[in-house]
Chains A and B, each alone.
Chain A
């Protein structure tokens, strides 16, 4: 199982808002494919999947705030 983690992005940016999941739980995903869109004070960006497999669980719903290091989803 691979964790999709919010990485440390920039100086002074320690949180982000989840705005959109491109995939749903149970979907097949490819490594490097965009999984989720996030917005910080400075930028909007997409987080790619760490591995190919199945998106098992989404742990941060759209509209929620997440911190650097937090697990957003699990890919099996």
Chain B
């Protein structure tokens, strides 16, 4: 939601970076409408980054969570939020709206942030996840790492440790694929055995669920992962 244009320029992402449009106040209503038509039971809602909006777009996330709660009582809602420019109040408002899963992707390791996510912050993203969990410990928090962007194995493990210390519940790790010629090249193809190792390391660390594999994306089997975590709690 919140349009097709993003105000950041992450090297791995193919989302358009032209002028951002004004937010559509009917958007939560339209999302609920399509969810009804498709009889959806699990929604994953995400947005572009909107540094041009005073609240970074957090009120739109709050509105969609409330619309789902009011109009689709049987449906679960997972949000995948941007970093809201580090504004704590935005994170607090979305956490208080109580989505079933609160996701925010760290994407890459600390060392690569200045190259891959120039205008974002590694610590800022960790702080956001920690704050969300502190504000609302009932919801599950979730993050994702893209492997194959130039990071070393031990750096992925270090990022997993940082996420675990930020009380992140669910982690997904998948292979980076280059969306187009303007994006960063693939540094390496991570073998399935290495992904399996991350799953084991993550489970030992204490994550409630780790999905790790070449085809894994942050929304990969989102509903099944949520249900599995809830069952085991």
Residues of A within 8 A of B (CB): 7-9, 11-12, 32, 42-43, 45-48
Partner of A42, one of B39, B40, B219: B219
**A32 x B39 contact (CB < 8 A):** yes
Q: Knowing that A8-B34, A45-B38, A46-B38 are A-B contacts, what are 13 other residue pairs whose CB atoms are under 8 Å apart, sorted by A's residue number? A: A7-B34, A7-B37, A9-B34, A11-B1, A11-B3, A12-B4, A12-B15, A32-B39, A42-B219, A43-B219, A45-B40, A48-B37, A48-B39
Chain B interface size, under 10 / 10 to 19 / 20 to 34 / 35 or more:
10 to 19
Secondary structure at the A interface, as helix, strand, loop or mixed, is loop
Chain A residues near B34 (CB-CB < 8 A): 7-9
What CA separation (Å) do A57 and B214 show in the bound complex?
38
Complex: how many Å from CA A8 to CA B3? 14
Contacting residues, chain A, for B39 (C-beta < 8 A): 32, 48
CB distance from B44 to the nearest CB of A (A): 8
10 closest Cβ pairs, A-B complex? A48-B39, A11-B4, A7-B34, A7-B37, A12-B4, A45-B38, A32-B39, A11-B1, A47-B38, A9-B34
> Can you name the residue of chain A whose Cβ is closest to the Cβ of B3?
A11
Q: Are B38 and A7 in contact (CB under 8 A)?
A: yes
Assess the A48–B38 pair: CB atoms within 8 A: yes
A contact residues around B40 at 8 Å (CB): 45
CA–CA, A11 and B219, complex, Å = 15
Q: How far, in whole Å, are A18 and B78 apart by their CA atoms in the complex?
A: 26
A43 to B220, CA, bound (A): 8
CA distance A45 to B37 in the complex (A): 12
Contacts of A9 in B (CB 8 A): 34
- In the complex formed, the residue of B with least CB distance to A33 is B39
Cα distance A59–B40 in the bound complex, in angstroms: 24
